[in-house]
A and B are shown apart, each in its own frame.
Chain A
Amino acid sequence: METLKELMARVLHIDAGELTDTASSETIASWDSFNWLMLVSEIEKNFSVQFAMDEVMGIKTYKDIKDALRAKGVTEGIGE
Chain B
Amino acid sequence: MELHDYIRRSATLDNQACIKSVSIAFLSNFTITGLGETMQVLCHDDGIAAEVYTAPYAQYAQEIISEKSGLYRSSPDIIFIILEPENLLGDFYYFPYRMPPDDRKAFIEQKYAELEGLLMLLKSRTKAKIVLGNLALPTYSSRGIAEDKQEWGVKQAVQQFNIMLRSLCLNDPQLFLFDINQFYLQVGCDVACDPRMIYRGDMKISPLALVRLASTLMGYVFPLLALTRKCIVLDLDNTLWGGVIGEDGMDNIKLGPDKLGKPFLDFQKRLLELFERGIILAINSKNNYDDAIAVIRNHKYMLLREDMFAAMRINWDDKAKNMVALAEELNIGVDSFVFIDDDKSNRALIKEFLPEVKVLDLPADPCLYAKALEELHVFNLFSITDSDTNRGKQYVDQKKRSELEKTMPDLASFIKKLEIKIRIGNGDSAVIPRVAQLTKKTNQFNLTTQRYEEEDIAVFMESADYLVKYIDVEDRFGEYGLTGTAVVKRHDAEGYWEVDTFLLSCRILGKGIEFAFMQDILDEAAKASIKQVRATFIPTKKNAPAAGFLSECGFVNDTVEGEIQHYHVDIGKEKKREKMMEVKLWKH
A positions within 8 Å CB-CB of B? 11, 13, 33-35, 37-38, 40-42, 50, 53, 56
The answer to whether A53 touches B199 (Cβ under 8 A) is: yes
B295 at the interface (CB under 8 A from A): no
Give the shortest distance, in Å, between B34 (CB) and chain A (any CB): 7
B207 at the interface (CB under 8 A from A): yes
B3 contacts which of A13, A38, A40, A56 (Cβ < 8 Å)? A38
- Interchain CB contact under 8 A, B4 and A35: yes
Q: Given A11-B4, A13-B8, is A37 in contact with B197 using a C-beta cutoff of 8 Å?
A: yes
The residue on B at minimum CB distance from A40 is B200
Is B200's CB under 8 angstroms from A38's CB?
no
A-B contact pairs, 17 of them (CB 8 A): A11-B4, A13-B8, A34-B34, A35-B4, A37-B197, A37-B201, A37-B203, A37-B207, A38-B3, A38-B4, A40-B200, A41-B207, A50-B196, A53-B196, A53-B199, A53-B200, A56-B200
Q: Chain A nearest CB: distance from B360 CB in Å?
A: 28
A50 to B203, CA, bound (A): 18
For A37, A40, A53, A56, the residue with the greatest tally of chain B CB atoms inside 10 Å of its CB is: A37
CB distance from B205 to the nearest CB of A (A): 13
- Complex CA gap A35/B207 in Å reads 11
Tell me the chain B residues, 188-225 only, with Cβ under 8 Å from chain A. 196-197, 199-201, 203, 207
Contacting residues of chain B (1-42) with chain A, CB-CB under 8 angstroms: 2-4, 7-8, 33-34
Number of interchain pairs (Cβ within 8 Å): 27
Whether the pair B8, A38 counts as a contact (CB closer than 8 A) is no
CB neighbours of A33 from chain B (8 A): 201
State A1–B8 Cα separation when bound (angstroms). Answer: 23
Report whether B34 and A37 are in contact in the complex, using a CB–CB cutoff of 8 Å.
no
- Residues from chain A with a CB closer than 8 A to the CB of B4 are 11, 34-35, 38
Which A residues touch B200, using CB under 8 A?
37, 40, 53, 56
| Cα separation A56 to B4 with both chains bound (whole Å) | 18
Query: Chain B residues near A38 (CB, 8 Å)?
Result: 2-4, 207
| Residues from chain B with Cβ under 8 Å of A50 in the complex | 196
Measured between beta carbons, the chain A residues less than 8 angstroms from B33 are 34
Task: Give the chain B neighbours of A35 by CB distance below 8 A.
Answer: 4
Contacting residues, chain A, for B196 (C-beta < 8 A): 50, 53
B residues within 8 A CB of A13? 8
18 further contact pairs, Cβ within 8 A, besides A35-B4, A38-B2, A38-B3 = A11-B4, A13-B8, A33-B201, A34-B4, A34-B7, A34-B33, A34-B201, A37-B200, A37-B201, A38-B4, A38-B207, A40-B200, A41-B197, A50-B196, A53-B196, A53-B199, A53-B200, A56-B200
In Å, the complex CA distance between A37 and B3 comes to: 11
Report the Cα distance A18→B199, complex, angstroms: 30
Instruction: Give bound CA distance, A56 to B200, whole Å.
Output: 8
Q: Which residues on the A side are within 8 Å of B8 (C-beta)?
A: 13
A11 contacts which chain B residues (CB < 8 A)?
Answer: 4
- Tell me which of B7, B201, B203 has the highest count of chain A C-beta atoms within 10 A of its own C-beta: B201
Give the residues in chain B near A56, CB-CB below 8 Å: 200
Residues of B within 8 A of A41 (CB): 197, 207
